[in-house]
Amino acid sequence: METKTVVLATARTPFGRLGGALSALSATTLGGDAIRHAIARAGIDPTEVEHVIMGNVIQAGVGQAPARQAAFKAGLAKTTTAETLNKVCASGMLSVAYAQRLIDAGAQRVVVAGGMESMSNAPYLLPGARTGYRYGDAKVVDAMIHDALWDYYLDEVMASQGARVAAELGVTRELQDQFAYESHKRASAAHDAGHFSAEIAPINVATKARGKIVVDALPVPARERIPAMAGGSSSIWDHVPPKNMQADPAMYSPYVTGDVPYTTVDRDEPVRADASLEAMAKLRPLDAGGTVTAGNAPGVNDGAAALVLASSDYAQEHGIEALATIVDHAGVAWDPPYLALVPAMAAQKLMDRHGLRTADIAVWEFNEAFASVALTAAARLGLDPTAINVQGGAVAMGHPVGASGARIVASVVHQLRRRGGGLGIAAICSGGGQGDALLVRV
């Protein structure tokens, strides 16, 4: 379990409904705001951040280099490198794993990792328009479904596969509805108890200045951090661009100050305190004869999450108490439809590598791609379903696909801290039949 990577801070936006409270904000604006808050919570100079890795799945229309956009919007320096990662639902988690590898290898000391998604702003695509149409109708393609929710190999929406796999594995509609109901109740109770205050950074969404966030003071762009030089005055870094060739925050910043009307969003919008089994039972399955419904699967959502990661040496030198240690990551792959199997496979691979048993893990978070996925993961590992996702999960809170992996990692961190320490595992499935798991120690 030797590792050099620790968590200095985490922050996430609340998660919003499709077309809901956060829908005016782009994915990179949500990502930038999560990064900004995470750095502020870490209490470090933004200049110290050397690299940013952000997951983002539905990239059509988001613009060039989404992670770089988010870094600039967060006020990071022009010398902060950034890369965007797409492993569908696992993107945010894998961003954290990649950051750990960079830090453990000594390539970086401070990295921000996370994920972001605005499914509300996913565009519609017009395939074939580039070369033109000669005769007949054309098809408009929903980028949200095509790039995030559609199985390329069997050519169908993943919810249909989820229902068939649930039937094969004996996960009934009643079990799925019961778990979904509990997810809403747990998430609502966690909000009311203030458990999400360490995770969520409230966001003031401007009601008239569309696409803007209202803040008390505009972020000050961090100063550039030049790598160790060689060559003295003839260094290749000796360059001062003219003003009109420098990125101007006034042109891209999502932040405004002053007397601007806004709505504060501080809770996950999809969570239903009034959820009932009776109402869930009345919902039609997404497929005839299936068991997956709009009630026992997550919605399509908007949101972002970020973690500030650093080497343990850096934390010690700067007198920062680390929240947790990122111990290790494991990934697996299986037949594309079997999303329900791969989170448990990845978690088992991780435990086997470190000689651990399920009893050694104090906190479990399985992303609720469907209720049946979390139930199957628990069953495969011999876990009581009441012992997983104790603060609720994606069925209740939402699943902005690029961000969810980072959210559940941060959730494990804060749950472990509240209980006084221990080991935790966050595990997630992703389109194409892959699974990832991350081991965290507090």
List the catalytic residues: 89, 399, 429
Q: Report the alpha-carbon distance of residue 307 to residue 284 in Å, rounded.
A: 38
Residue closest to 407 by CA, chosen among 387, 428, 432, 381: 428
3-class secondary-structure state, position 47? helix
What letter would DSSP give residue 48? G
Contact 113, 80 (CB under 8 A): no
- Contacts (Cβ under 8 Å, ≥6 apart) of 60: 122, 123, 125, 143, 147
- What's the residue count for the chain? 442
CA 175, CA 179: separation in Å to the nearest integer? 6
Q: Which of 248, 253, 257 shows the shortest CA–CA distance to 206?
A: 257
Please name the residue that has the structure tokens 């960079």: 102
Calpha distance 52→265 (Å, rounded): 25
Of residues 169, 89, 180, 151, the one with CA closest to residue 340: 169
Strand intervals (E) in 254-300: 255-256, 262-265
Hey, which residues does 428 pair with through a beta bridge? 436
Q: Is beta strand 51-55 parallel, antiparallel or unpaired with respect to 81-85?
A: parallel
Structure tokens belonging to residue 249:
């925050």
Residue in the structure block whose two tokens are 């993107």? 91
| Cβ-based neighbour number of residue 20 at 10 Å | 17
Token pair, residue 320, equals 């920062």
